[in-house]
Amino acid sequence: MLLRRILTRLGLALALAAPAAAIATPLIALDSAVFVERVQPGKGRLLQPVSSLRRGDRVVYVVSWYKMGGQGAFTVTNPLPRSVYFQGSADGTEEVSIDGGKHWGKLDMLRIGARIATPEDVTHVRWHISAGEAARGSGEITYSAIVR
């Protein structure tokens, strides 16, 4: 099952890596899981697989990457569904876009007209995976969002 998901995601990985293929970008497979954070009395905050969502729910995305071959660094880019707004990632190294992936930067550096962009403005999130990290062969990226 996992192998099938990896191979299915391989097409996506090829599409993501295609522009950089000329510079020996590694071949990467991606897999993702989505959880909702629920508060249960006596147990605290728990992550559960998503079965239903309500406005205000915190959603946690876990993106797993697997290096299938090649060498060097690569970038993982995720568009955000319109039904959620970005909250942050586990490590804070992400860059965001507020214009569909045309321009990138740290959220507090991006502007819409005269105002600073807010988490509700984020359309895409990306992470740069260094050659050293890629050499490990696999990794995970975790980020959260709130249901609108």
Q: 106: domain CATH number?
A: 2.60.40
In the block, tokens 């502007």 appear at 111
Under 8 Å between Cβ of 65 and 138: yes
- What is the C-alpha to C-alpha distance for residues 27 and 135, in angstroms, rounded to an integer? 12
Domain around 136: 2-147
Q: How far is CA 122 from CA 40, 44, 54, 59, in A?
A: 30, 29, 20, 15
Q: What is the DSSP letter of 2?
A: H
Task: Count structural domains, the chain.
Answer: 1
Instruction: Supply the pLDDT for residue 13.
Output: 42
Tens of pLDDT, residue by residue, the chain (148 residues): 433 443 344 344 444 444 444 446 689 999 999 999 998 889 898 999 998 999 999 999 999 999 999 999 999 999 999 999 999 998 999 999 999 999 999 999 999 999 999 999 999 999 999 999 999 999 999 999 999 9
